[in-house]
Structure 1
Amino acid sequence: CKCPLGFEGINCTDNIDDCSNHTCQFGVCIDKINGYTCKCHSGFIGKFCEITSQLKSSLLQNNRTEILSKTCTPEICSNNGICYEDSLNRVQCRCSPGFIGDRCLMLKSVHANRNDSYMKLSKPKIFPHLNITMIFSTIQNNGILIYFGHMGHIVAELFMGRIRVSHDIGNSPGSVVFSYHTVNDGKIHELQLISIGQNFSLIVDRSYTRFINNRGIRTYMNTSEMDG
């Protein structure tokens, strides 16, 4: 049998579970034939439940000019954003991690719906510099945060609550460094990884930096050698 889209099995009677790799951010996946929909939790809207309902109501009632206020008040910036006035005396919002927009109403975060979930990104260009910054919150003791490997690797992981980074640009064995403190306290933390040639920096919460060097024949990790 040649099965129609959305079905599989010997007799094409099994509906493929399209929710196995769904991208519903703040909602529940509802499986359909050759597709799925997201049933959003209260307070969220959008095709993938990625927008707060506050944003929709604001856009329906006001245009961009009307939304902008002339003075800072507690309710201007949503989701714990901080209001401030720029050099031109315009009101701006400094958004909390995971939110963007004029008033911090738009979600910009990744929600892992399974223990084995991951996000695949395009090939990084480490020729010869790389800067990766991620903001996360977890209570797990161990797990992968970032992994990239080809003729070497860059790996950032949780190891017994601390950040462990292995940096190998092709000069095995790789160089390893740990964060000073644990980060599995459920609070928001910022991780920054900077690779410049053989040198590598680990920065946590913008408060301290640890350095390592992967000495050898190779002077940098050249991702241009990869296909695709």
Structure 2
Amino acid sequence: VREGEVPGLNPGEYVVITVKDTGVGIPPENLPRIFDPFFTTKKEGEGTGLGLSMVYRYITGMGGAIEVDSTPGEGTKFDLYIPATTQPKPEPEPPKKFESANLLLVEDDLTLNKLFKNYLTKEGYKVHSFRSAREALKFFEKNQPDLAIVDTMLPDVSGDDLVWTIAKKFPRTPIIVISGKKPEAEIEKLLQSGRGCFLMKPFKLPTLSEKIQTLIERRKKSPRWN
């Protein structure tokens, strides 16, 4: 890429990934907003508006860029520019893993549910994932995971209600609340008391893993939560 050829990119070598469809296209008035968190033209319950926002954050965080070309009625093309390197990446020190840890994941968005589950499984955790509060509570009837990850925007029961149920019935289970909005004051107070933590979407996957490890380690050192 030469200087000024792609807005926002420094001159250099890049790997370019092109994703193209032949769908309905994106109206010109929506193009400036497609990477905004929670912007979506889908019906309620069909999308979170976080997919493109997360991709944009990851690509630009690596020093890359995304170009979009869309024609209504014909389709859309995304060009993802990722910095190329010939330098070998140093091997990072393997992080401490809790391979025997069982995690409960409650996330109604199918894409995010699969993303979180696949990542955490590769990290060495055993993940039991559900897309509704009722399914999660049925699992809790016969099992007690080492930690629960709960989205507050659920289709059947309020995620806040699920958090309170877990906190009261299973006081030794740490809780990570994930959402695109700040939790209610009482939930925030509960988490700040040492029972868990909150992650605002979108967040980096390694951050989720770090929070899990911190809470599980704290649980092992202090079996009785305050």
TM range (shorter): under 0.3
TM-score of the aligned structures, taking structure 1 as reference length? 0.25
Structure having the higher helix fraction is 2
| Larger Rg over CA atoms | 1
Structure having the higher strand fraction is 1
Which fold has the larger relative contact order, with Cα–Cα distance below 8 Å and residues 6 or more apart in sequence? 2
